[in-house]
A and B are shown apart, each in its own frame.
Chain A
Amino acid sequence: MKDLRTFFADYSRLFPEEIVSIDRAVDAKWHASAVATKAERACKTSPVLIFNQLRLLNGAISAYPAVVNLLSSRRRLAWTIESTVERFAIDLSSRIRQKKKPLVVSKSEAPVKEVVKKGPEVNLLDYPALVQHAWDPGQYITAGFLTCYDPDTGIDNCALQRGWIKKEREIRIHIGHHSHNGMIFSKHERAKKGMKAIYWIGHHPAAYLGAEVKLGFPESHYESAGGVLGEPLRLVPSETLGDDFLVPADAEVVIEGIIPNGQRRPEAPFGEHLGYFGGQTLSPYMDVTCITHRKKPYWLTILCSHLDEKEGIGGARREATLYEILRKAVPGVTNVYRPASCPIHLYIQMKKRKESDPRQAILAAISAPEGIKHVFVFDEDINIFDEPEVLWAIGTRSQWDKDLVVVPNCNAAGLDPSCERDGMGTRAGIDCTKPLPPEVFEQRTFIPDEIMNQVLIEDYIPQETLAKLTHGV
């Protein structure tokens, strides 16, 4: 059985330096995100940070540890599914296809039921959620899967959707009109019913990858989580939403509640994944009925607009879906990468068979439901994980009067501030591939392989000097 605890145990054996436990008191408001930001800038691989002494907004030290940066490293996430940085999208898409039916266990077998608090016993302000950025109005749930069931099919839907802990038992939720959870909520509202929902927080990173992936509607995220985990996700009946509402048994925390129909309250501004504050919205809220958790739960937070979303889970989930879609549209696609530098860009690598292949790939990528705004298509010899090489290929293999595809008036990422109109924007792509024969194209420079393989740099530059140069000391 895999969970966050087994991940910590396995990973820290191999990479002990990547899990850093901090025992100094750190404020939940801004201070913890500042520490994480400085760590992100200072370290080549951003370590997982565990804040054991998180000072809450009321001045008390939280009884529970806060965890950030768990999902921030592409290499770390790749490791969880026995993959590599380069093969991550390919291997993740394969795992997502191997869905597994969840396994229902009894409450006595569920670690998430070690502590059960209902009604007035619940005080969400006691938990170590962070205030991340200067305009954020309070503590936010950012690594919680808002989960509900489609009333027509009974199929679950999970999505990482932010929630502002407004009061002891009130969470204001940014549900997203066009998200699958938003569609399910609309069905409840049309029927004038409140919607039963949970947030589940903290699990094995592979469960996060599988539950966050974009699926068709309705499709079970519990099943895709099991596929990526490599074993069925264990579920257990809820405490207050009925026995047929199943929740992850091995999560760290589960929050249960009802989202009333027809009610909206102010939510945000909030520092979002594109690196800007999203404006205040009028959003639904959850009346919390219960919280269950382990005796000492790890409260996981995703730092929005930081590496979690740039390099880690934010990109990973999209890549797997895009790889699937693109392979169907253009079989010559060999890999995809959503770069850390901009979450709405996509790099596609392909073995071009027809001159039309890059355009087909661009059209498939920008019409996919993954919020990609700009697409760049490269030949197989370009390392799409190396941004200088990518920029070189854009510069030397494209002429924008003929290689640019521009499609105005598309759906836009809701948080893209460059859109003139809310929800509408331009999507585009650039074909940066060489022409196929018989067209001719210049040869890129190279040094013969036999010489490159012969040369060991340590034979020419002392190790000590190299180490300083490599680490920029």
Chain B
Amino acid sequence: MVRVTYVTCPQCKKEYYLRTEDFSENRDANTECPFCTKEFKPEEGHPHPPFSRRE
């Protein structure tokens, strides 16, 4: 499993990353943008590498 997954905040468009393990095991969890505090599902942030390539 890759260590981190980049996402782009749908509100401020800035990029940061998540610990893949935490969020892949909790698919319903929101992430929170560290720059603008927007909460969103990682899938909405165009995660890369994509979920399908994580395992």
Contact = CB atoms under 8 A, between A and B. Distances in A.
Interface in A243-285: 264-266, 268-269, 277-282
B29 A282 contact: yes
A239 B1 CA distance: 45
Nearest to A415: B3
B34 A264 contact: no
B19 A281 contact: yes
Interface string B5-41: 1000000000011111111001001111011010100
A82 interface: no
Contact of B19 (A136, A137, A265, A279): A279
Nearest to A416: B3
Nearest to B36: A137
Contacts of A265: 32
A417 B19 contact: no
A266 B3 contact: no
Contact of A264 (B5, B29, B35, B39): B29
A135 B3 contact: no
B23 to A, nearest CB: 7
Interface in A375-415: none
Majority secondary structure, A binding face? loop
| Range of interface residues on B (Cβ < 8 Å) | 20 to 34
Interface of B: 1-5, 16-23, 26, 29-32, 34-35, 37, 39
B34 A279 contact: no
A424 to B, nearest CB: 10
A135 B22 CA distance: 19
Contact of B26 (A264, A268, A279, A417): A264
A280 B47 CA distance: 13
Given A421-B1, A422-B3, A135 B34 contact: yes
Interface string A433-448: 0000000000000000
Interface residues of A, number: 20
A279 B29 contact: no
Nearest to B42: A280
Contacts of A25: none
Contacts of B21: 422-423
A335 B2 CA distance: 38
A280 B17 contact: yes
7 contacts: A135-B34, A278-B19, A279-B22, A417-B3, A419-B3, A422-B1, A422-B3
Report which residue of B3, B29, B30 has the largest number of chain A beta carbons within 10 angstroms of its beta carbon.
B3
Interface centre among A280, A282, A417, A421 (most CB of B within 10 A): A280
A280 B1 contact: no
A137 B22 contact: no
B3 A280 contact: no
A277 B34 CA distance: 12
Interface of A: 135-138, 264-266, 268-269, 277-282, 417, 419, 421-423
Contacts of A278: 19
Contacts of B2: 422
B1 A266 contact: no
Contact of A135 (B16, B19, B31): B16
A461 B3 CA distance: 55
Given A269-B17, A422-B21, A279 B31 contact: no
A136 B34 CA distance: 7
Nearest to B7: A280
Nearest to B15: A135
Contacts of A421: 1, 3
Contacts of A422: 1-3, 19-21
B20 A280 contact: no
Contacts of B30: 266
* Residue among B1, B16, B29 with most chain A CB within 10 A: B16
A419 B20 CA distance: 14
Shortest 7 CB-CB distances between A and B: which pairs? A137-B34, A279-B19, A266-B32, A279-B4, A282-B22, A280-B18, A279-B17
Contacts of A282: 22-23, 26, 29
B52 to A, nearest CB: 18
A278 B20 CA distance: 11
Given A419-B3, A422-B19, A280 B31 contact: yes
A137 B17 CA distance: 12
Contacts of A135: 16, 34-35
Contacts of B18: 279-281
Contacts of B16: 135, 269, 277, 280
Given A264-B26, A269-B16, A422-B21, 16 more contacts: A135-B34, A137-B34, A264-B29, A265-B32, A266-B29, A266-B30, A277-B16, A279-B3, A279-B5, A279-B20, A280-B18, A281-B18, A281-B22, A282-B22, A422-B19, A422-B20
